[in-house]
Each structure stands twice: as structure tokens, then as C-alpha cells.
Structure 1
Amino acid sequence: MTLRAVITGVGHYLPERVVENAEFEKTLDTSDEWIRTRSGIERRHFAAEGETTSMMGTAAAKAALADAGRTPADIDAIIVATSTPDLTFPSVATMVQNALGANCGFAFDVQAVCAGFIYALSTANAQILSGQAKRVLVIGAETFSRIMDWEDRATCVLFGDGAGAIVLEAQEGKGTSEDRGILAVDLNSDGSYKDMLFVDGGVSTTGTAGKLRMQGNALFRQAVVKLAETAETALAKAGVAASEVDWIVPHQANIRIIEGTAKKLGLSMDHVVVTVQDHGNTSAASIPLAMSVGRARGQIKPGDLCVAEAIGGGLAWGAVVLRW
């Protein structure tokens, strides 16, 4: 028998405030049509004053635990992917742990920007396969609205806030691609691309949180190629063909990137879970958010073969092949 890390529960949280594209027309030289045409985004959610990344992560975690039929006491580890923590330290994960009333196990954060959830999922998978944990709560949570330059129309209209979470559990499989759970992982990074997407502040530089800066066109060109390549590599590791994939669950950054990646994999958009129009780019939260929404819509079903892929600042990118 082969040990597999299987998703047994999923949940998400979105802040109450919904910001339509038209709201930006009041303060920026932009329009609903301009934003939709270039990104596919129609609206996004912004956290309320006083609403933090850990609060949203906790809400998503509670939903995922309920979906899995588990309690906080059943969880051995909590891993949170985020680039917008409440504080420099301690970790968001320990704050979520405390808010859940979980006084056992361990908790820590992973920072790989928009690829964060893929990295966190890979880390949780490794914890389970090594025997370090049997059940891991994996969360992506972000409040990117706090690091926006509201005068930069090229970036501030793209991002939103939210959180998604999954419960990952150790289960036995047969060691074939028909097993439920994570079948393969591919991770990559290249620091020479740093200037394409970064925040111009930090503890050891400015002492401030800073604002997000992005070279959109250059990043777009890198994203389509690298996302397709990492998905193909992960599929090869899993021993499955792209034609067998039921769902691509991509990082929700830009509809044109999503469409370009699907095309390179030879799959129609009928096989892609798309939420970017309603959430915008929620960075590390976008894939678990899409998983939760896709499952709720009835798109993702037990036994479905899924590919999750993302790219973010670093650049860091990767893919996970799993059977739901």
C-alpha cells in the first residue's frame, strides 16, 4: 500500500464588502470595460477595517473542518500561505491555531506570494508522507488591499482579499494514478525575475509594509509558458496525460493567462474552474478559494483528476496533480 495525502474537506471565506469595477472609475482613469478586457475581473472583495488575514483564515478553516467532519483537536499541523500577515511575527498560522482553540500540534506560515498555496500544499504532503502528521489544515489567506497603491491603475484594480482552506489527511492507496490524493508535485523558482513583481517595503529595508509593484506585460509572458511547463512536468511525474484531466484549478490572476495555459495543455475552458471574475487576484488564497467554489458549484466531484498551478513573485511557480 502507498500513503497518500487526500483532501477530505474544503471551505472559504470572503469579506462582506464587494467592490465592482465601476467603483474605481470615481478615482482612476479607468473603466469597467478596460478592467474586464485586460483581466476578466468584474468585482473583488475587500476586508473591512480591523478584519485581518488571520481572521479570514480562521473562518475558512472552520468551514473546511466542518466539511471534513473534523474538529481542531483532530489536526496535527496548520500551514498558512500568505504574503500579508497580521504582524511581522508571530505567524498567521499560530494565530489561527489559537483562534480555533487547537492547543496541540504545530503551525507555521509559507511565503511564496501567489504560488504560496502550491508550496504549502507540497509541504503538507511531505509532512504526511514522512509520518510527521496525519491531518494537516492548509490555508491560503490574503489582505492584498492593504498593500495597494491606489493611484496605480495597472495594479490596484486586480487584487482582492479572501481565504480558502483544505483538510489534508493520510490515507492508503494502491500506488497508482487512480488513487485519491496528491499524485505529484513540481516546484520552481528563479530570483532573477524579482523586479517583475515585488513590494517596495520590508522590515530590513524601509521598515514599512510597502506597496505592490508589477511589470504586467513581462509577467504575463513568463506566466503562460511557466504555468504550462510546470503542469506538464507534474502530470508526467504522476503518469497521467493532460487529456485525462477533469479540472484545471489555476491561480486566478488574469483570464488571459488562464486561457493561454489551458490552450497550451490542449484543454478547453470547460475543464477550468474560473472565479477570477468575482474575486480578482487573491494571491495565495485564490486556488483554495477556487477549489471550494468549484466543489460547491458541482464542478469538482470525488474521483476527478485535478491540476492546480500558480506563479507569483520571486518568481516562484509550481503545480500539484491530485485526485479529489
Structure 2
Amino acid sequence: MRTIITGTGSYIPTIVKTNRDFAVHEFYSEDQQRIPTPPEVIVGKFKEITGIEERRYASTDLNASEIATIAAKVAIEDAGIDPETLDQIIVAHNFGNVLKHTIQTDVLPSLASRVKHDLKIKNPACVPYDILFGCPGWVQGVIQADAFFKSGMAKKALVIGTETLSRVLDMYDRDSMIFSDGAGASVLEYLPDDGQHRGILSAAVMAHTEEEAYYLYLGKSNFPDSDPRIRYIKMKGRKVYEYAITHVPQAMKTCLDKAGIGIEEVKKVFIHQANEKMDEGIIRAFFRLYGQRTTPEGIMPMSIHKLGNSSVATVPTLYDLVRKGQIENQELHPGDVILFASVGAGMNINAVCYRV
């Protein structure tokens, strides 16, 4: 028996926020001092480092659970399943539903319960639950579904990553330009091995919380006259970068070695779309662990340039887009060995080796 992704779907929000929109902002430092560098220079440097030109924000009439449902419906249709046959609905997110112009998180009921409700699933044996695991949440949901399948407790699951980070941003913080909104969903099924050895081959997970736990956190605005009671997403960018470059490649290697797969067999790496330079550094370091000084051309599909960093949604959205031929010069073929990998708040890291 193998855990196979039989359907995928995504929701790309309609509101486009370009770098030009940020070039008229005033930015402040963590100590609430106005940064004298002209905003257009800050934005230009930001693009050089992250690769981000645009990002997508959800419209005010949609929240995280609703865009999750949209992506889920596409994945269910793509898989050709009856949603009543789902055993689990796993929704990864960080902030629940945040209504526009508020900063309060709503997770009662859970987003997974809302998705089940919106999908009109009546089956009481379909269990919905949420995962709070930082940006690696969707990958962790896939790992959990696979574990439940192997335990005999489930055979079919819907795993979703959804986020509306635009509603927890501090517009006076330069890091706010990184984040975006989106949702990606996948249907996973536990199916007999057809001889092609498709599906999940291995997984690896690690977490560091001694010094690293608060590299991402909620904090007050950088603007000096802001309400100190309101908290926004904050990031120690340099610390996150150094942590990711140091630890993610090793987790990926651990995962690949557990699968007994050679590095030369890996066709694609679907890595969390956090920062172009960081992701490129991770890939280079990963291949160096196998004694390779260069990385194969096209091995790392990217969506960050136009979609930004939508946290838990980046990996499933990217996989859906490549799988359906919507990323230029990127495609998948039956039998391809791929890696999913992510890093984020906690600090948490995970990786999954998968044969298409």
C-alpha cells in the first residue's frame, strides 16, 4: 500500500500588490525609528534579496477557511472522489480566520471544521482538525495523513494549507513585503502498490526551540504611535536565513537517504517559497552534502516572484501549478522522484520524498 496524491487544487487571490505599492510607504525599524533610506531604495534591495515582484492578497469578502474550501473543491474534483468518503480533513494555518481591518484570530470552530461544513460533508467518520506548525504545516499534514494511513485508521484525507497573512502585517515593517495570501489543497489516498512504487517514500522532521523558538513571533508595530496592544507578525530575518541554510539541507538529506534514493534521481524540489536567495542557498547546500558543486537546471520550481510567501500555502500551491503545467518550463512525469521541504516558525523543518 502507498500514500498517493490523487488530486490537487489551489486558490490564487485576485488582488495584486506590486513592489511599486510599497515604494510610497514610510518604514520604521524595530526600535520605532524612521528609516531614512528612501522607500524606493528599500524596495529595490528587497527585490534583489527575495526575488519578489508581486504578491497576492485575498479580497475582504474571503477569509482563510473560505479560500481553503475553494482550493479543496478543485482538489476533490481533480481526484474524482466523493467527499463523503474522506476520513480526515487536515488544515494547516497560523492565524485562523482574521477579518479584514481586525487583528483578532478566529479559530472557533477550527478551520477544518468550517471546511467540512462548507463542503457539506455529512459523514461523521470524517474527522476535521487543524495543524499549527508554522510554514511547514501542509507538509506536516501530509506526513500525519501518511502515518494515519499506515496505522489503519484512515484511507483517504484532504490536506490543506491556507493563510491570509496580509491581515496580520505591520505596513511600517520592511518584512511585511514578503508575505501574501493563498490556499493549496491535496487529496491523499492509501492505495495498493501498482508496481510503479508511486507515492510517499520517506519523511523527516526536526525542530529547534532552545534559541530558535521566537525567530518568528507576534509583536507590536514599528510605528511609534501605534496601539501597543495590537500584535503583528514579526521575523528575525537574518536568524531565520542562517537557521534554514544550516539545517534544512540536512533534513532533506536525511529524508532522501531514508528512502534509499540517490541524489541523481531527484527531478524536482518543491521548497517553501520564503525567499529566493535563501531557497537557492538551501538547494546548493543540499547538493554539496552529496559532493556536487552544481545543481541541475530547473530542479527548483519557484512561484515567489509573483505570489510572494503565503506560508503554509506555498508548497501545495506550487505543486498544483507545476502539476497542471502552469509554471513555465516546469513539468512532472510519471515516475519522477521529488522532494517537498519546508521551514518556519517554531522553528520547524520537514521533508517528504515522493514518487509521482
Structure 1 gaps, min length 5:
202-207
Which of 108, 123, 129 is the matching residue for 1:108? Answer: 129
Q: Is 2:217 the counterpart of 1:198?
A: yes
How far did residue 64 of structure 1 move? 0.6
Which residue in the other structure is 1:143 paired with? Answer: 164
How far did residue 95 of structure 1 move? 0.3
Does the Cα contact within 8 Å between 1:121 and 1:138 map onto a contact in 2?
yes
Distance (Å, rounded) in 1 between the aligned partners of 2:54 and 2:122 = 38
Q: Is 2:327 the counterpart of 1:316?
A: no
Q: Is 2:150 the counterpart of 1:129?
A: yes
Distance (Å, rounded) in 1 between the aligned partners of 2:109 and 2:230 = 16
Which residue in the other structure is 1:234 paired with? Answer: 255
User: Equivalent residues in 2 for 1:56-67 (5 A)?
Assistant: 56-67=67-78
How far did residue 301 of structure 1 move? 2.7
The letter of the residue matching 1:83 is N
Distance (Å, rounded) in 1 between the aligned partners of 2:285 and 2:95 = 32
How far did residue 241 of structure 1 move? 1.5
Whose radius of gyration is greater, 1 or 2? 2
Q: Is 2:116 the counterpart of 1:88?
A: no
Which residue in the other structure is 1:303 paired with? Answer: 335
The letter of the residue matching 2:76 is L
Does the Cα contact within 8 Å between 1:113 and 1:283 map onto a contact in 2?
yes
Does the Cα contact within 8 Å between 1:140 and 1:285 map onto a contact in 2?
yes
Which residue in the other structure is 1:173 paired with? Answer: 193
User: Equivalent residues in 2 for 1:253-268 (5 A)?
Assistant: 253-266=274-287, 267-268=295-296
Which residue in the other structure is 1:276 paired with? Answer: 304
Give the 3-state SS of the residue equivalent to 1:195 in structure 2. coil
Distance (Å, rounded) in 1 between the aligned partners of 2:324 and 2:306 = 15
The letter of the residue matching 1:263 is R
Percent identity for Structure 1 against Structure 2: 32
Distance (Å, rounded) in 2 between the aligned partners of 1:81 and 1:268 = 31
Distance (Å, rounded) in 1 between the aligned partners of 2:277 and 2:297 = 11
The structure whose residues are more often helix, as a share, is: 1
Q: Is 2:81 the counterpart of 1:53?
A: no
Does the Cα contact within 8 Å between 1:262 and 1:269 map onto a contact in 2?
no
Q: 1:182 to 1:261 in 2, by over 3 A?
A: same
How far did residue 268 of structure 1 move? 2.8
Give the structure-2-normalised TM-score: 0.85
Query: What value does the CA root-mean-square deviation take over the aligned residues?
Result: 1.9
Which of 239, 242, 255 is the matching residue for 1:218? Answer: 239
The letter of the residue matching 2:117 is N
Distance (Å, rounded) in 2 between the aligned partners of 1:291 and 1:209 = 35
Give the structure-1-normalised TM-score: 0.93
How far did residue 179 of structure 1 move? 1.1
Which residue in the other structure is 1:162 paired with? Answer: 182
Distance (Å, rounded) in 1 between the aligned partners of 2:332 and 2:146 = 20
Which residue in the other structure is 2:4 paired with? Answer: 6
How far did residue 232 of structure 1 move? 0.2
Distance (Å, rounded) in 2 between the aligned partners of 1:296 and 1:30 = 36
How far did residue 307 of structure 1 move? 0.3
Distance (Å, rounded) in 2 between the aligned partners of 1:84 and 1:199 = 11
Which of 264, 270, 292 is the matching residue for 1:249? Answer: 270
How far did residue 103 of structure 1 move? 1.6
The letter of the residue matching 1:24 is F
How far did residue 292 of structure 1 move? 0.5
Which residue in the other structure is 1:290 paired with? Answer: 318
Q: Deviations over 1:197-227 (max 9, x none)?
A: 11238xxxxxx77211111112101112211
Distance (Å, rounded) in 2 between the aligned partners of 1:315 and 1:101 = 35
Give the 3-state SS of the residue equivalent to 1:224 in structure 2. helix
Distance (Å, rounded) in 1 between the aligned partners of 2:120 and 2:297 = 41
Q: Is 2:44 the counterpart of 1:33?
A: yes
Which residue in the other structure is 1:204 paired with? Answer: none
Distance (Å, rounded) in 2 between the aligned partners of 1:159 and 1:317 = 19
The letter of the residue matching 1:146 is R
**Divergent runs of 4+, >6 A:** none
Range with bigger deviation, 48-57 or 22-31: 22-31
How far did residue 195 of structure 1 move? 2.4
Does the Cα contact within 8 Å between 1:80 and 1:139 map onto a contact in 2?
yes
Does the Cα contact within 8 Å between 1:21 and 1:35 map onto a contact in 2?
no
Q: Deviations over 1:155-189 (max 9, x none)?
A: 10000000001110011227x9x511111110111
Structure 2 gaps, min length 5:
27-38, 98-105, 221-228, 288-294
